Structure 1
């Protein structure tokens, strides 16, 4: 049986917006913390009250609902966050299984009647954790009634209504409300990519603003939107397993997005290390269980077996976890399986938000150095199933630049060990492959700009970089690489500079191998103009005649401009219509918030 439910999304004394949606008779609402699960469930409950249903609100367990079940009347049973601490708390495996059985039995009881409704809300990570622990739940069919609420489901106007509703019924003094109306600041809130109803509730509650002066209110709101990570604290600390936390930390070290196989590899190492170090329990299926409990709540699968955080604020929260407990930064590097994880952790540690992480890494560099050296010198070539070879990023030269940066900031002798190991690896690679021009220039510059005298032990290696760079440029050189080389060796334009002839050879290589390809790759006016600028620079720096090549690029630019003008004329009517609709949409939002100013 399917029930057609119509409920108000937002109501105010001035207006009400209604949506229709088809819901099963036992809807389970799930989604991110603060996305609006409870509010939507409340509205479904109110709609049924208007239709004559008797409400039964369960707060502790399903036994409450069973006691109040009546065959002779229409009833709606409501349980908010039904898989909260009651079911996933410290009651042991046997106790949890009893609770799972009670859930299934109650659902089956409701399902056999025509005049009963059951509304449940939960967070996906909690359902997934229970799903993995109970075969009864997996067989119950509960997942078939799942309705996930996502921020992407809200239109801009609905976001505006949510903000308006909170402000209208809030206890904020008019002086605070007026700050949001000034200069249409409310548009910045509703259009922000981290907009979330729970955040809106937070910023519109007076008790949250203790110590926040009226003049600082907009800055407070901006900061909260930029860092909404606090909404994840309770779920992370209280409602997921140790394995789940290990998986989240692992994914954060990849920047919040990586392939499933690589995530599994990183998780296995980190979770084993954390279990031994902190006395955590482990099970053979920890990874599978963690993936299930986090799926849809903290993480989501993407195409190509990629896993990513479901919201950017999850990465923000994990950064705060590392900041508050910097030992996590040490664990992540010790257990890293890719150099990219080291770069991610170090990048955060040396940032303004890194807290004590940088100092912790410096103190532990003696312990970390061997692992860092292994990551830096690890092979890049990976054989694919089809027989081809792929190369892991970053390049050895990019790794070298990062290690010099770390050593120059930490300035502890142990930080030199990974650099020496990596240089040895690069020298071996040079026997097979030429250096990547831009990446090698970056490494040389990092070395030349370093201030720690101990790094001068590597000067002979970098002194020989000119020959390596010229050899690469003679083999293959794009315009941007050649320009970088010329800028790097500023004196190369001198008549008798030893690199002048090599750079002229590199220019000839560019003309022969790259110019046609780069011209065909141009897709904007800026691309063409950039290529023209490079040719003019080569003329001045190397004294070469570029007139014919510049004319070729200029002709292609003229053709591109003509095409773009024709396309612009064709799309103008559509653009005007879209602009008009957007303006009307924005005008309706302005009118709404204008009435808010008058209601204070």
Structure 2
């Protein structure tokens, strides 16, 4: 049984715990007075003889007995004498010796009648051992015990991926269970998979991390997926207790500049992996995504629309937070913050906290930001209310103050770079791109640089703007990326500097995406086909898009660090067509030459280029038709090595393409017959994993259904192999996970209780 020091509980949490323990011990109900500058009463109970007992809770876990005694003499003893209760009971989170208890009985005599009416830390732990249901019902208490933390650290250390235990552990005292928590937990308990969706800042990541943390405490080992679902498949062990976590899981898979991921069955791979988790006896899977990203993915993928994704979804909304829960969120952040007393007093003054709680833009992320002293320390306490009001009224400014006033030029350049280098944020890749931007601006604006600018600035950004995981850098949340990217819409120099120093094609393409996403006079001017822009495009259009390294088996593996060559070609075609620019049209051939030399030619990507040409009338009329014919010839020539997903892409294209000729049909028919006769069976033999078998079967079913082709015998053969593989995986360990009990207290929901709650901050 764990021993608790109660340091991670707020005064409100501690009072709730004492109330629950005394209810269980006395078998009597207690009336709770929410903490505040009261008359010396926190709890009130009535015994069978109708005698009243008043209980005082003093949450002093990190002080000394002499300080507690001085406080009781000065503040509480006069109140107790005035009330003259029949029975006075004192509970404190401070450890007490027998001599300490005698002193307290003597201080409050005759109201504190016996030593057994004094509950120090050790006695409270004894009550917890006697009433285990109270412990399991108190989620935060259980998660912060020493024994639980030891299990969490052990399981995180033996994980094959990085899980930031300390960072998540710091969030536990701040966490307030809302209405979405039991919904997410129930979905996870029932199906082993939960997809947490919601708007930015609503608390998706925190909810996911609390569920993950609780599983680690029960013996699960974390697998944090950073790069893509293939990473999860590689680390999946059906015989082990694993909890997979994929934050913003749709963020890369469904980016518009990478349609080849869908063409290559990444949507199917995701659904198959989710199904593998569902069938396993001991694994679980937590995913998060922005709600609008989820809607975009569903519109892009028929498989996701008709798959099980939505059935696993838990939508987190602001209405999931009651008035009392919002109050607890604000209270917890202030109680555990490093804000000096003057700032907390500013929140309490004039019941300003009510305005915060009821504000239309209230969300957990804003509260986290506003309660961080490092972010507001240059705002005097006297101006704190005004500062909070301004940020609540305009949440978009949440990052602006720190960006303008609290980070260096080198730090700002790191953020600009990170916002445009989309494919990899490995530290050295980020630094290389940052270096060119920083040096470019240093010469242009005449400021000094030092060798340690990057390292120092990156360290200063950590925790406020960026986070580190597995040697990679990413924004601390998606709203920071939104903020930084929006700066390019409002300041032309930011865009000019980025274009002048770009080392990745994606850096310029991101600006183009921002321009198309929302009209901006600034971006329109920056992205006109001027000489500097054309020179920059020529410079980056041929840079490598993959970074190669060897995996644990010695195999060469490529990691994306930039847009793929076919994606670059599509971007230039559309851009030239939109602007009717002959200069941009001239870059189409350069992009095409690079595509041919890059060894990254694959059928789904090339078909996307054909579609782009067919919908770009100006380019098609100015040389694009010849390019279309040449690419079509390449695609048809590749059909001899085509896989199932390639054939599905060709069938889909063939059904709607305007450029499909009789000659194309004849070559297609010849290659397709060869595939049906031999190629499809060779592909079955090449499937080594369950997900490969399922993906191939599902793709053949798609072709069979959508294009009236018959693959019944092959599908039957695949189903036999799938069942055989599943049976071999079912010999795993049982999932002995115990569901988390929902907290008994949702928070003080009436306004008077909230007033008393915040009174305890003073």
- Measured against the shorter chain, the TM-score band is 0.5 to 0.7
- Kindly provide the CA deviation profile for residues 390-442 of structure 1, in whole angstroms up to 9, marking residues without a partner as x: 4755331121112223323333333223322112333445xxx4721111111
> Separation in 1 of the partners of 2:419 and 2:58?
39
Match of 1:530 in 2: 698
Q: How does 1:97-496 map to 2 (within 5 A)?
A: 151=171, 154-157=174-177, 163-165=326-328, 166=330, 189=363, 196=368, 198=370, 228-255=395-422, 258-303=425-470, 305-352=471-518, 355-363=520-528, 365-380=530-545, 384=549, 388=556, 390=558, 392=560, 393-428=562-597, 433=599, 435-453=601-619, 456-475=622-641, 477-490=642-655
Q: How far apart in 2 are the matches of 1:277 and 1:342?
A: 19
The answer to whether the 8 A contact 2:499-2:508 is kept is yes
Cα drift, residue 547 of structure 1: 2.4
Name 1:87's counterpart in structure 2: none
Classify the secondary structure of the residue corresponding to 2:467: strand
Q: Deviations over 1:346-371 (max 9, x none)?
A: 2223213x633430333364311121
1:15 corresponds to 2:17: no
* Aligned equivalents of 1:277, 1:373: Cα separation in 2: 22
Structure-2 separation of matches of 1:377 and 1:206: 51
Partner of 2:425, secondary structure, is: strand
2:671 matched to which residue of 1?
502
Question: Structure 1 residues 451 and 290 mapped into 2: Cα distance closer, same or farther (>3 Å)?
Answer: same
Residues in 2 aligned to 1:534 and 1:320: alpha-carbon distance in whole angstroms: 41
Task: Check whether the contact 1:373–1:418 (CA below 8 A) recurs between aligned residues.
Answer: yes
Structure 2 segments unaligned to the other structure (5+ residues): 16-31, 36-56, 75-165, 179-202, 204-320, 332-346, 377-383, 756-762
Shift of the alpha carbon at 1:284?
3.7
Quote the Cα distance in structure 2 between the aligned partners of 1:368 and 1:328.
14
In the TM superposition, residue 372 of structure 1 has moved relative to its aligned partner by: 1.1
Give the conservation status (yes or no) of the 8 Å contact 2:512–2:527. no
Segment drifting more, 438-447 vs 510-519: 510-519
Normalised to the residue count of structure 2, the TM-score between the two structures is: 0.48
**Residues 229 and 316 of structure 1 are in contact (CA less than 8 Å); yes or no, is this contact kept in structure 2?**
no
Deviation at 1:342, TM superposition (A): 2.6
Change in Cα spacing, 1:357 to 1:500, as seen in structure 2 (3 Å) is farther
Name the structure 2 match of 1:79.
Answer: none
Contact 2:534–2:584, Cα closer than 8 Å, also in 1: yes
Which secondary structure does the structure 1 equivalent of 2:527 belong to? helix
Q: Cα gap change, 1:19/1:315 in structure 2, threshold over 3 Å: closer, same or farther?
A: farther
Bigger relative contact order (CA 8 A; separation at least 6)? 2
Quote the Cα distance in structure 2 between the aligned partners of 1:566 and 1:522: 18
- SS of equivalent to 2:10: strand
Query: Structure 1's 346 and 14: CA in aligned 2 closer, same or farther, altered over 3 A?
Result: farther
Q: 1:501 to 1:273 in 2, by over 3 A?
A: same
Instruction: Note the alpha carbon deviations across 1:210-263, whole angstroms, 9 max, x for none.
Output: 9xxxxxxxxx98xx8xx9552222221112221221122111212496111111
Looking at structure 2, the residues matched to 460 and 47 of structure 1 have their Cα atoms a distance apart, in angstroms, of 87
More displaced 10-residue stretch of structure 1: 233-242 or 360-369? 360-369
- Partners of 1:9 and 1:341 lie apart in 2 by 49
Cα shift at 1:546: 2.0
Structure with the bigger percentage of helix? 1
The superposition leaves residues 180-225 of structure 1 with CA deviations (integer Å, 9 ceiling, x where unpaired) of 8xxxx99xx55xx7763629999x9899889xxxxxxxxx98xx8x
C-alpha displacement at 1:474, in angstroms?
Answer: 0.9
Tell me the equivalent position of 1:548. 713
Per-residue deviation, residues 460-486 of structure 1 (Å, max 9, x unmatched): 1221222211222212x2222211111
* Secondary structure at the counterpart of residue 549 of structure 1: helix
Q: Is the 8 A contact 1:162 1:197 kept in 2?
A: no
Q: Deviations over 1:256-277 (max 9, x none)?
A: 9611111111111101111222
Task: Assess if the C-alpha contact under 8 Å between 2:651 and 2:707 holds in 1.
Answer: no
What TM-score, normalized to structure 1?
0.59
Task: List alignment gaps of at least 5 residues for structure 1.
Answer: 26-45, 54-145, 211-219
Aligned to 2:250: none
Q: 1:588 aligns with which of 742, 745, 748?
A: 745
Contact 2:541 2:591 survives alignment (8 Å): yes
Residues 259 and 599 (structure 1), Cα distance of their counterparts in 2 relative to 1, 3 Å cut: closer
Does the 8 A contact of 1:384 with 1:390 survive in 2?
yes
Q: Distance in 1 between matches of 2:11 and 2:717?
A: 59
Quickly say closer, same or farther: Cα 1:495–1:276, change in 2 above 3 A: closer
* RMSD of aligned alpha carbons: 5.1
SS in 2 for 1:452: helix
Alpha-carbon deviations, 1:295-338, whole Å to 9, x = none? 343233321x3222233332122123222213312322321222
Q: CA–CA distance in 1 between the matches of 2:59 and 2:670?
A: 73
Asked if structure 2 preserves the Cα contact closer than 8 Å seen for 1:258 and 1:307, the reply is yes
| Structure 2 match to 1:36 | none
C-alpha distance 8-151 of structure 1, shift in aligned 2 (>3 A)? closer
- Relative to structure 1, the CA distance from residue 151 to residue 418 in structure 2 (aligned partners, 3 Å threshold; closer, same or farther) is farther
Distance 1:533 1:7, change over 3 A: closer
1:365-394 CA distance string (max 9 Å, x none): 431112112211224566658895747553
CA contact (8 A) 1:519 1:553 kept: no
Counterpart CA distance in 1 for 2:419 and 2:366 is 18
Moved more, 147-156 or 528-537: 147-156
- What SS does the corresponding residue of 1:301 show, helix, strand or coil? strand
